[in-house]
Amino acid sequence: MNLMEKDCIIIGGGPAGLAAAIRLREAGVRDIVVIERERQAGGILRQCIHDGFGLTRFQESLSGPEYAWRFLEKAVDLNIPLLTETTALKVCPDKTVIAVSRRHGWLRLRARAVVLAMGCRERTRGAIGLPGTRPAGVLTAGVAQSYINIHNLMIGRDAVILGSGDIGLIMARRLTLEGARVHAVLEIQPHAGGLPRNIRQCLDDYGIPLLLEHTVVDIRGTGRLESILAAKVDANRNPVPGSEREFRCDTLILSVGLIPENELSLTAGIELDPRTGGAIVDEHYQTSVPGIFSAGNVLHVHDLVDFVSLEAETLAESVAVFLKNGCLESCPIALKAGSGVSYVLPHTISGTREVTLSLRVREPLKPCLITVRQAGGTVLSRRFAKALPAEMIHLPLEAEIVNGRTPLEVTAV
């Protein structure tokens, strides 16, 4: 394998990778390449035919393909190289990337900077340990969406959806519009996992019940799914005896969470955050390995794609500075998620400029008080009418209020 030298390699041609590539090219970085394993770039957006994308980034409502096309068209205009049908197999700490391509065979590339934008994947039946037989008709929400929207194949006529993630909610509506019956959406948590607007538009508007604190306790069928057994769960998520209810159905769709795709990050020796499943990053979105950066759903799962693109554009600005200077400003001040907060990003900051914190609360709060403390004192306090785990909170933190290098803790009550 011949070694190809680049200024920057971007792994992933979805909304994060494309946004980062465009911003880098606009900043004057010429020698870049985007590696994408699919036949077409654009990521999961290509199969998201519903609208609601772009309200923050473009101030208009777009479908997923329309949103992706905005970036693809710009990438083509800027002559950004896209290596599609190319799979990155390994990222080394020295920023060497080993990949295999259908057209080019084995590839070995080395860059001064690497951007990780691989996105996320769905949790499967095996990941959550669902009991029962293994018939056809049990699919993740994203796979079901691909079958219907990309391949024009109907997946079933009587469905139950386990998990109230946004893709599952959207598929409840999509199946209904295609003539299928969606009996219910089951959610093991006491609160919904998706955005409130999707609860209203995809369930309430179509009379589809959302059963909170319920899960699947048995899957029945041989060749094809015949029914599932649902049950209410207690505070410890254990099924409540006597609460079982059978749903006759031929399709079970799983919308039980997303996992950042960080296998390549591990090959590079990057330190991961067990709370997010993504890399530990500083305010520049630089990982624990200098010169390797991470943004988008591979860093933490977002609720809106607009924030994926905006985050990647911010990352690209830092990469441009890194390529120019060979280093970035150090970020010695740690940020920690305290009481009521699931996680907060970035993990460290410099304290010399304004930074926008991204965080999620652990449970629904109405009203909600977000507080940032340092050395026992409050440096920032912000009230919200409500806060939901499904909705990411963005909190600007001005440099002037940070005192010294002691850690900052973010809490929510």
Give the tens place of pLDDT for each residue, 273-313: 999 999 999 999 999 999 999 999 999 999 999 999 999 99
Q: Which pair of tokens denotes residue 146?
A: 């691909």
Nearest to 212 by CA among 243, 187, 236: 187
Angle at alpha carbon of residue 309, lines to 358 and 54, rounded to 5°: 105
| Predicted pLDDT of residue 404 | 87
- pLDDT confidence bin for 338, thresholds 50/70/90: very high
Is the pLDDT score of 102 beyond 90? Answer: no
Residue 327 has a pLDDT of: 93
Kindly tell me if the per-residue pLDDT of 407 is higher than 80: yes
Look over the chain and give the mean of its residue pLDDT values, rounded to a whole number.
96
**39-87 pLDDT tens trace:** 999 999 999 999 999 999 999 999 999 999 999 999 999 999 999 999 9
**What pLDDT sits at residue 136?**
97
**Tokens coding 219:** 């899957």
What phi and psi, each to the nearest 5 degrees, are found at residue 231?
A: -150, 155
- Indicate the pLDDT class of residue 403, thresholds 50, 70 and 90: confident
CA–CA distance, 64 with 304 (Å, rounded to integer):
11
Q: How far is CA 156 from CA 124, 175, 179, 219, in A?
A: 19, 9, 10, 16
* Confidence (pLDDT) at 1: 67
